[in-house]
Amino acid sequence: MKTFTPATARAGAIHLTIDGRRYDVDAEGKNLLHVCLSLGLNLPYFCWHPALHSVGACRQCAVKLFKDETDTKGRIIMSCMTPVTDGMRLSIEDPEARMFRGQVTEWLMVNHPHDCPICDEGGECHLQDMVVMTGHAYRRYRFTKRTHRNQDLGPFINHEMNRCIQCYRCIRFYRDYAGGTDLEAMGAHDDVYFGRQTDGTLENEFSGNLVEVCPTGVFTDKTLKMHYARKWDLQTAPSLCVHCAVGCNTIPGERYGALRRVRTRYNGEVNGYFLCDRGRYGYEFVNGGRRLRQPLVRTGDSLQPAAAADAVSRVGAAVSRATGSGASAIGIGSPRASLETNYALRSLVGPANFYLGVSDRHLAILRLMTRVLREGPAPIASVRHAARSDAVLVLGEDVWNTAPILALNLRQASSNAPAAAAMKQKKLNAWDDAAVRGAIRHEKGPFFIASVEATRLDEVARECHRLSPSDIAALGFATAHEIDASAPAPAGLSEPIQAAAQRIAAALKAAEHPLVVSGAGLAAPEVIQAAANVARALKKAGRDARIGLVFPEANSFGASLLAAGGLDDAGRVLAAHGGRVLLVAENDLFRQMAPESARSLLASAGHVVAVDHTTQATTEAAEIVLPSCTYAESSGSMVSSEGRAQRYFSVFPPLEPAQSAWRWFDEIAVRAGKKAAAWKGLDEVIRAMTQEFPELRGVRDAAPGADYRLNGSRVPRKSIRESGRTAVTANVSLHEPPPARDPDSPLAYTMEGASIGAPASLNARFWSPGWNSDQSVSKFQVEVSGQLIGGDPGVRLFEPPAQEAGMYFPPSPADQPARDGMLMLVPRYHVFGSEELSSLAPGIASRTSPSSISLSRAECEKRGLREGDRARVTVDGAEATEMAVLIREMPEGTASIAPGVPGTPVLPLPAWAGVTLASVAAEAER
Amino acid sequence: MLSEREKERITEEALLHEYPRAAVSEALLIVQESRGWVPDEAIVEVAGLLGMSTEEVEAVATFYELIFRKPVGRHVILVCDSVSCWITGEEAILSHLQRRLGIGLGGTTPDGEFTLLPAGCLGACDAGPAMMIDGKLYDTLTPERADGILAEYGMGADAQTSHG
């Protein structure tokens, strides 16, 4: 039983009796399994999954239903397929129901091997839990079990088909939910095989969820297998994914000082039950060989290890001298560093000298997005909102690749409208939609995409428009004008764009919860302005409209709120007064600007101090390098695209002398005499920051402070049955070491203390007695698939002002017509390869396609190029780069390259560029 | 892999449906018609013709037991093992056939002439036991009658194999 009162048990309209106990539930239209689990009752199930709904296939959730008070016989029903009605009397504990469930388990176990001790799922296996729950602990089946050949499914997923119990959850997630086409159910009757046609990598970018969706050990985490530890032996903490700006909640697990895996931490408003593969498998950079472990000081051409105290006093002295000379030190912050790290650097160098380490142009986009969200033409859509919207317009953003979990939810939203219509006609409940979703799978809801090239969401869209950035903006402005005539109309629209705008406007206006999505991906301000206009027009038309803007990096939103300027500004200031001290926080400038610009920026500084956890081009060029911590060894806060401030907590203590980047800056400030005493912990940094930035107040409330205690003690990071506590370091010393201190959080690096009942933002694992698998999450939710008890973690920082503020953006003038030989070059993104840190994980790296340029067929033919050719690409006369040629459906006169992917030059995009392509093969022939 | 004629027929079949993928089982039967079975390469080509993934085609191909994913003999013998035929003596017929052909269920004679398979029901419940060879139904079987039928397909009395 839950230790709190679930929402379903609050005074509700429906009265029901379960095993003689009366419940009043507010569960109109829900099924009995949903109700029982929400009440905290233990009822086993397999084929049901909270996100995949009911199919009634496995018969495991059988209960006894009685007609009335006089009925003593009752009948067996499937709880997942039975809607709750007022006055229902049912029994879970009825002997016949128990026997029925035991039989189902026995059938399911007929072919299941008894290999739990060598199975990676053991100890967190839904099947194990259900077998114990049904009491069916002994097998009568003594015959040969059917066996299968397993497949190599690539770097992420291990396959062990013999363990399969045919619940079909894998393909219901992979195929139906995530849109994958390379995993299917083969065969029939008692010989069903879930796999690919031949060995090969599962291609869908959400494949890792199979590990959690599979109720047993068929699909397990292959990266975990490389350094395996049981769930109960992993030290865990509530954390955040740092590989994009969606802000998915995660539970990374550590043992022996290495991160072993990442699992989903349910957050009803953000990622729900799922993660993308970048988020799940990007973690290996934490264990990578490129980690910085020691302070380094330049001696001649090389960086040599140095004592931390020496390095800090050298930097402190330099900063102090600089302040005295009137040319104070310059700080460059980072969109992938925490708010605290950015703020600490800003405090060290002073507000006017703190720049965000992204180009001025990029910063302007971030600021425009912030302005839009602050003014609030419509409230910001959380991922949950996105999944519930009934009409969607995506302007210019390849959401699948820039905000994967948002895209996964938009994919579900696309069938909301047609499904709702069919469900209403058939009088079905939302959970009973399997048949309807199958029947309407070719019907497309009001879902519109305008993008430069094809995206993975196109298959669910009613209309896709391939347009140049300025035409995408024009389509948006025109749509806004069609919805609300007071929105300014763009001039010189082409007939097809005008007609499309009318259709889109009509569809959005007809919806109750329309959503507009755009973002920084295309880096085109006019596209973001157009999206804002559409949202504003819908709001004015009285719709419950929402807007979602995708930020590029985990903390782009948060960091941009603190900065005085961008990289180009910083470069100008450094150049104007040579010899300054430059401090760079967790940022590789060579990824943000062209190499020659980065080199000259660094050369214009007198001293370059780089703080980062991982070696990169900027740390290699620095004079002094200080080792910081990854998200796994430090605590901090970030602001997601939703404007949600969230806290992540260190999973394991940093290996000294590495420490959180903000601590290095704080130590330097004290050493330079800018500050009397160091901050004692994260809370002090947050307090100072929120005093200076009232807008960030919510950061304080994102999680309890370090002084929080649960029943008088800290919340443990280790499970109550972690093994070998007194022995794990016996090879070093026989004395059991004291647990590491953690001044930054109310969590402890121990197994002591109770964790059940902790606020959701401090919950380090989903576990409940009898529920060892991640399915125990329902014990932590107010209601199945609802909020976590005590509220979903995070605080939204931006809500629309009570008084309508802001105005429509005027349409931007049409672009200059293309010049001969020039191409509109735009950025293209990939789940695998576009993000810096995850690309260091071997699995992600192996999934990354080589650097490429995509063009329309016509543009390729003009140049005599074919798909797959290798071409030497020269942009505006710069050094040529060799890339693969891709033919994509895109407007003539446009081309795209993939920033961040190794081998792609850093360029200000989008831009008209003189691109010359020469086929490498053709050159060789000459 | 696929002949031009096969491709044409599959494409024509696809046009009869609102969605080309709806023609997948017909397409597999077209492939099987001239070859007797459906090879891996054909799965890939059918997928390409109908705009499906190879997994989607494979899922259909392996679901139906009369679409063969392994080579079969020149003649495919389906012996009904449903209840009516079982009551009327299916077991005797089956063991007789296995002895005569020298193969088990799912086997193919070494000369590549016959493949022996079970069938759920052949729709001849009033006249069991029944079997079907190359689509032709034979009912009220006795071991002797079965021998006579096998002979029609070129199996002589002296052809009884000794390696059963």
Which of B17, B58, B64, B69 to mutate against chain A (most A CBs within 10 Å)? Answer: B58
Do A311 and A388 lie in one domain? The reply is no
Residues in B closer than 8 angstroms to A166, CB to CB, are none
Residues in A closer than 8 angstroms to B54, CB to CB, are 182, 197-198
Do A417 and A549 lie in one domain? The reply is yes
Tens-digit pLDDT profile for residues A494-542:
999 999 999 999 999 999 999 999 999 999 999 999 999 999 999 999 9
Residues from B contacting A (CB-CB < 8 Å) are 18-19, 40, 43, 52-56, 58-59, 62-65
Secondary structure of A57-106 as H, E, C letters? CCCCCEEEEECCCCCCCCEEEEHHHCECCCCEEEECCCHHHHHHHHHHHH
**Average of pLDDT values for B113-133?**
95
pLDDT tops 90 at residue A213: yes
**Identity of the residue in B19, B58, B65 whose CB atom sits nearest the CB atom of A184:** B58
Nearest CA in chain B to A203: B53
Do A500 and A626 lie in one domain? The reply is no
For residue B73, give Cα distances in angstroms to A562, B32, B65, B108: 76, 12, 15, 6
Residues A436 and A419 sit within 8 Å (Cβ to Cβ): yes
Q: Return the SS3 of A279.
A: helix
How big is the CA angle at A578 (ends A575 and A584), to the nearest 5 degrees? Answer: 75
Amino acid in the structure at residue A209: N
Residue A696 neighbours by CB distance under 10 Å: 23
Nearest CA in chain B to A182: B55
pLDDT tops 90 at residue A820: no
Do A726 and A861 lie in one domain? The reply is no
Residue A758 neighbours by CB distance under 10 Å: 24
Residues in chain A: 926
Nearest to A350 by CA among A687, A665, A598: A665
Residues A355 and A332 sit within 8 Å (Cβ to Cβ): yes
**Identity of the residue in B18, B55, B64 whose CB atom sits nearest the CB atom of A184:** B55
* DSSP string covering A726-785: TTTTTTT-SSPPPPPP-TTSSEESSS-S--TT--GGG-----BTTB-SGGGGGGTBSSTT
In the β-sheet with A447-451, what is the strand arrangement from edge to edge? A463-466, A447-451, A391-395, A514-519, A546-550
Q: Does B19 sit within 8 Å of A188, measured CB to CB?
A: no
Q: Is residue A618 situated within a structural domain?
A: yes
Amino acid in the structure at residue A666: D
Nearest CA in chain B to A189: B63
Phi-psi region of B152 (alpha: psi -120 to 50; beta: other; left: phi over 0): alpha
**Identity of the residue in A184, A188, A198 whose CB atom sits nearest the CB atom of B56:** A184
Q: Does B65 sit within 8 Å of A181, measured CB to CB?
A: no
Do A409 and A537 lie in one domain? The reply is yes
Identify the domain boundary among A88, A108, A128: A108
Q: Does B55 sit within 8 Å of A183, measured CB to CB?
A: yes
Residue A184, chain B, CB below 8 Å: the answer is yes
**Identity of the residue in B19, B40, B58 whose CB atom sits nearest the CB atom of A186:** B58
For residue A827, give Cα distances in angstroms to A205, A401, A697: 20, 12, 35
Q: Return the SS3 of A548.
A: strand
Phi first, then psi, for residue A856 (nearest 5°) are: -75, 160
**Residue A517 belongs to a domain with what CATH number?**
3.40.228.10
pLDDT at A224: 98
Q: Return the SS3 of A896.
A: strand
Residues A894, A684: Cα–Cα separation, whole Å: 50
Distance from CA of B116 to the nearest CA of A (A): 19
Nearest CA in chain A to B19: A442
pLDDT at A80: 97
Torsion sign across C-alpha atoms A161, A163, A167, A172: negative
What lies within 8 Å, CB to CB, of A388 at 6+ separation is A413, A416, A513
pLDDT tops 80 at residue A73: yes
Residues A206, A171: Cα–Cα separation, whole Å: 12
Do A315 and A391 lie in one domain? The reply is no
Residue A29 neighbours by CB distance under 10 Å: 13
pLDDT at A743: 97
pLDDT at A211: 98
Banded model confidence at residue A875, pLDDT cuts 50, 70, 90: confident
For residue A880, give Cα distances in angstroms to A248, A853, A860: 38, 13, 18
Do A524 and A390 lie in one domain? The reply is yes
Banded model confidence at residue A814, pLDDT cuts 50, 70, 90: low
pLDDT at A148: 97
Residues in A closer than 8 angstroms to B55, CB to CB, are 181-184, 196-197
Q: Return the SS3 of A645.
A: strand
**Identity of the residue in A181, A187, A188 whose CB atom sits nearest the CB atom of B55:** A181
Residues A637 and A629 sit within 8 Å (Cβ to Cβ): no
Nearest to A786 by CA among A35, A15, A176, A16: A35
pLDDT tops 90 at residue A755: no
Nearest CA in chain A to B43: A197
Q: Is residue A265 situated within a structural domain?
A: no
pLDDT at A819: 65
At A38, list the tokens: 């929400």
Q: Does A183 sit within 8 Å of B65, measured CB to CB?
A: no
Q: Is residue A314 situated within a structural domain?
A: yes
**Average of pLDDT values for A599-604?**
96
Identify the domain boundary among A71, A89, A108: A108
Distance from CA of A74 to the nearest CA of B (A): 33
Residue A103 neighbours by CB distance under 10 Å: 14
- Long-range contacts of A18-24, Cβ-Cβ distance < 8 Å, separation of 24 or more: A18/A90, A18/A91, A18/A92, A19/A90, A19/A91, A19/A92, A19/A93
Nearest CA in chain B to A193: B59
Q: What does DSSP say about strands A249-255 and A258-264: parallel, antiparallel, or unpaired?
A: antiparallel
Distance from CA of B59 to the nearest CA of A (A): 4
Residues A373, A798: Cα–Cα separation, whole Å: 7
Residue A181, chain B, CB below 8 Å: the answer is yes
Secondary structure of A480-521 as H, E, C letters? HHHHCCCCCCCCCCCHHHHHHHHHHHHHHHHCCCEEEEEECC
Distance from CA of A545 to the nearest CA of B (A): 34
Nearest CA in chain A to B56: A184
Q: Is residue A194 situated within a structural domain?
A: no
Q: Does B43 sit within 8 Å of A181, measured CB to CB?
A: no
- Long-range contacts of A25-28, Cβ-Cβ distance < 8 Å, separation of 24 or more: A25/A84, A27/A84, A27/A783, A28/A84
Share of chain A above pLDDT 70, in %: 97
pLDDT at B10: 97
Distance from CA of B119 to the nearest CA of A (A): 14
Residues in B closer than 8 angstroms to A184, CB to CB, are 53, 55-56, 58-59
What lies within 8 Å, CB to CB, of A646 at 6+ separation is A240, A247, A249, A637, A638, A639, A640, A702, A761, A793, A794
Domain hosting residue A839, numbered range: 822-925
Domain count, chain A: 4
pLDDT at B161: 47
Nearest CA in chain A to B18: A442
Q: E-assigned strands of A551-709? A: 580-585, 605-612, 624-627, 636-639, 644-648
Q: Does A184 sit within 8 Å of B59, measured CB to CB?
A: yes
Residues in A closer than 8 angstroms to B62, CB to CB, are 186-188, 193
Q: Does A187 sit within 8 Å of B63, measured CB to CB?
A: yes
**Identity of the residue in B19, B55, B63 whose CB atom sits nearest the CB atom of A197:** B55
Do A344 and A427 lie in one domain? The reply is no
Helices (H) and strands (E) in chain A, counts: 29, 36
Q: Does B54 sit within 8 Å of A186, measured CB to CB?
A: no
Nearest CA in chain B to A183: B55
**Residue A920 belongs to a domain with what CATH number?**
2.40.40.20
Q: A59-78 b/e with 16+ CB inside 10 Å = b?
A: bbbbbbbbeeeeeeebeebb
Which of A184, A190, A201 to mutate against chain B (most B CBs within 10 Å)? Answer: A184
Phi first, then psi, for residue A834 (nearest 5°) are: -85, -20
The H or E element that residue A874 is part of is strand A870-875
Do A410 and A501 lie in one domain? The reply is yes
Do A348 and A368 lie in one domain? The reply is no
Distance from CA of B54 to the nearest CA of A (A): 6
Residues in B closer than 8 angstroms to A198, CB to CB, are 40, 54
Do A345 and A386 lie in one domain? The reply is no
Burial of A741 (0-12, 13-18, 19+ CB in 10 A): exposed
Q: Is residue A621 situated within a structural domain?
A: yes
At A411, list the tokens: 């994919």
Banded model confidence at residue A20, pLDDT cuts 50, 70, 90: very high
Identify the domain boundary among A73, A88, A108: A108
Residue A310 neighbours by CB distance under 10 Å: 12
Q: Is residue A475 situated within a structural domain?
A: yes
Residues in A closer than 8 angstroms to B18, CB to CB, are 442
Tens-digit pLDDT profile for residues B7-64:
999 999 999 999 999 999 999 999 999 899 999 999 999 999 999 999 999 999 999 9
Secondary structure of A816-843 as H, E, C letters? CCCCCCEEEEEECCCCCCCCCCHHHCHH
Q: Is residue A132 situated within a structural domain?
A: no
Nearest-10 crossing angle of helices A339-349, A661-671: 20
pLDDT at A873: 85
Nearest to A355 by CA among A155, A171, A563, A60: A563
**Residue A698 belongs to a domain with what CATH number?**
3.40.50.740
Residue A188, chain B, CB below 8 Å: the answer is yes
Tens-digit pLDDT profile for residues A896-913:
999 999 989 998 899 888
Residues A215, A58: Cα–Cα separation, whole Å: 12
Which of A183, A186, A207 to mutate against chain B (most B CBs within 10 Å)? Answer: A186
pLDDT at B93: 97
Residues A551, A403: Cα–Cα separation, whole Å: 8
Residues A358 and A566 sit within 8 Å (Cβ to Cβ): yes
pTM tops 0.90: yes
Distance from CA of A184 to the nearest CA of B (A): 6
Q: If you average pLDDT over every residue of chain A, what do you get?
A: 94
Do A328 and A372 lie in one domain? The reply is no
What lies within 8 Å, CB to CB, of B156 at 6+ separation is none
Q: Is residue A461 situated within a structural domain?
A: yes
Q: Does B43 sit within 8 Å of A442, measured CB to CB?
A: no
pLDDT at B164: 36
Residue A181 neighbours by CB distance under 10 Å: 16
Name the DSSP class of A284. G
Share of chain A above pLDDT 90, in %: 83
Residues in A closer than 8 angstroms to B43, CB to CB, are 197
Residues A516, A279: Cα–Cα separation, whole Å: 25
